[in-house]
Chain A
Amino acid sequence: MIEVKELSKTYGDKPVVNNVSVNIQKGKITSFIGPNGAGKSTLLSAVSRLIKYDIGNIDIDQQSISQWKNRELSKKMAILKQANNITVRLTVRELVSFGRFPYSQGNLTPEDIDHIDEAIAFMELENLENQYLDELSGGQKQRAHIAMVIAQDTDYILLDEPLNNLDMKHAVQIMKVLRRLVDELGKTVVIVIHDINFASFYSDYIVALKEGEIINQGPVDDIIEESSLKEIYDMDIPIKQLDRCKVCVYFG
């Protein structure tokens, strides 16, 4: 379990994350939602040790993040930020192989190679494995990066806006993969996501942030609810029930 306790982070005099406490349950998809500038990405970056926080504490499996050795933590938790700004010319397979770096420091063992093959198969990238990343589409690139994270074989997988720049088909594909990671492999997934309908369809738990503070959190059904959404986004969002899921009609 990841426990965030009274966490604050300030840039200059502007508090970006203010006194946030949240528990991230194992074996679930947790979505961070909220308007722009709510501090979602900052919170995710702090949890994944990419940025330092000012006040508070983060425990990962009962051990404070500051006490984790960097390399040990990289076998426990993986973070994927926007994948499209990487310009290095690597093949898909080479990229996925780097997921094993925390274990092998680059000298791949047969066990590492099994993990790499499995990750590539899980993301259905067999046909693309020897292609260079810069020859792929945005959706394929994103899948390659997720395959790397799968090869990294961590309990926790954190993703910052994984659907950015993807069309509907690829966005759905990525969300289904995340669902399978949780349901089939028992991973814990945390995402920052803008589209509340994707959050509604695919996540188990939602944390809503606004102006650096947690404004609401709970199981999906408690958050995807008209009064709660009005509070988060300052707009009236009608909700329609569609089979077992709720759809937010936020277009007007």
Chain B
Amino acid sequence: MSLESLCPMKQRYLLIVLVVLSVLSVFIGVTSLNISDITSLTDQQQQILWQSRIPRLISIIIAGATMAVGGLIMQQLSRNKFVSPTTAGTMDSARLGILVSLLVFTSASPMLQALTAMVFAVLGTMVFMKILDKIKFKDAIFIPLVGIMFGNIIGSITMFFAYQHDLIQSMSSWLQGDFSMILAGRYELLYISIPLLAVAYGYANKFTIAGMGEDFSTNLGLNHKQVVNIGLIIVAVSTSVVVLTVGLIPFLGLIIPNIVSIYHGDHLRKNLPHTAILGALFVLACDILGRVIIYPYEIPIGLTVGVIGSGTFIYLLLRRKAYA
């Protein structure tokens, strides 16, 4: 009981930091925009605010929360701390889906692109889970390696066909996450993630039980397969949405849930909101860093998150014995 009463408090601190950084984020950029001017903005400043800064902030928060929660759910369902949408072929499958939609429907609307990407992401993730079922040797490191290989196979198929059809350039924009291209009218697809996160929260208890295995779930009267499938669909669909609008953000789904798990355990009802907030906060901080470090130029988010994330990941691997 004491743990549960502690949680909301810390969550409150995280939220306060998130709000402060959000405000900061809106007022950083090439076109100067000061908090003190907020009541007397010129038309141009108004436009920058509503067309670029606010959409960017919203997409950072949604993408960060989505990727972190996606990782959390996948780790729970695969019962492996090192599985995430980037190490299970989910993101690569989504990109293959985008390519297919570009090839098959020559002038694919964003919605059609999104749908194809989602279908491919769901299928790719399910294939990975099937492979996981077949593997007898369930070593904590071996499984994500299999996932990365699987993702690379799908990635090379995508590249092969992209070369043949001169689509490499359009494909590479989905390779590296980047928030600088986010403008009003180009990011709204991300809103799909919000109801999905809400559904995930509703399923939090079931995901936790499913994470304890099929026998454990059956004993408690839970349909294990159904819950796993629902979880994978939520993850795959929300991941595709992020890949389509922002691009690939590596490591996020890996490090954030692992950090939260150390302090708050694996009870999803308890740590899912935490993971979402910390994910958003992490991406926001990386984004602000990327924007000021070589001001007025920008480092893409994929790079900042990648560098900080890979460092943290190595640290987690080294201290794995202590908790995983």
Contacts and interface: CB of A to CB of B under 8 A. Distances in A.
Interface of A: 48-50, 70-75, 78-81, 85-91, 93-94, 98-99, 101-102, 105-106, 130, 132, 134, 152
Nearest to B270: A94
A70 B206 contact: no
B2 interface: yes
Interface of B: 1-3, 76, 79, 204-206, 208-209, 211-216, 218-223, 261, 265-267, 269, 323-324
A73 B215 contact: no
B218 A50 contact: yes
A106 B219 CA distance: 15
Contacts of B206: 106
A91 B266 CA distance: 9
B215 A79 contact: yes
B2 A134 contact: no
A49 B265 contact: no
B220 A130 contact: no
A134 B215 contact: no
A99 B259 CA distance: 27
Main SS at interface, chain B: helix
B221 A74 contact: yes
Most A C-beta atoms less than 10 A away, residue of B204, B211, B216, B265: B216
A114 to B, nearest CB: 14
A74 B267 contact: no
A50 B215 contact: yes
A130 to B, nearest CB: 6
Contacts of A87: 79, 324
A101 B221 contact: yes
Contact of A49 (B212, B213, B218, B269): B218
Contacts of B205: 98, 101, 105-106
A88 B218 contact: no
Given A89-B266, A130-B2, A70 B212 contact: no
A89 B261 contact: yes
Contact of A88 (B3, B76, B214, B215): B76
B265 A86 contact: no
Nearest to A78: B219
A80 to B, nearest CB: 8
A88 B215 CA distance: 14
11 contacts: A49-B218, A50-B215, A70-B218, A71-B221, A74-B218, A78-B219, A86-B212, A88-B79, A89-B265, A102-B220, A132-B265
A152 B216 CA distance: 12
B219 A94 contact: no
A86 B213 CA distance: 8
A40 B221 CA distance: 23
A101 B208 CA distance: 11
B265 A91 contact: yes
4 closest cross-chain pairs (CB), A and B = A74-B221, A106-B205, A71-B221, A89-B265
B255 to A, nearest CB: 16
Contacts of B223: 70
B8 to A, nearest CB: 16
A70 B2 contact: no
A81 B79 CA distance: 17
B124 to A, nearest CB: 25
Most A C-beta atoms less than 10 A away, residue of B208, B269, B324: B208
A62 to B, nearest CB: 20
Given A86-B212, A88-B212, A106 B269 contact: yes
Nearest to B267: A94
A90 B220 contact: no
Contacts of B3: 91, 130
Nearest to A99: B220
A48 B216 CA distance: 11
Contact of A94 (B204, B216, B265): B265
A88 B221 contact: no
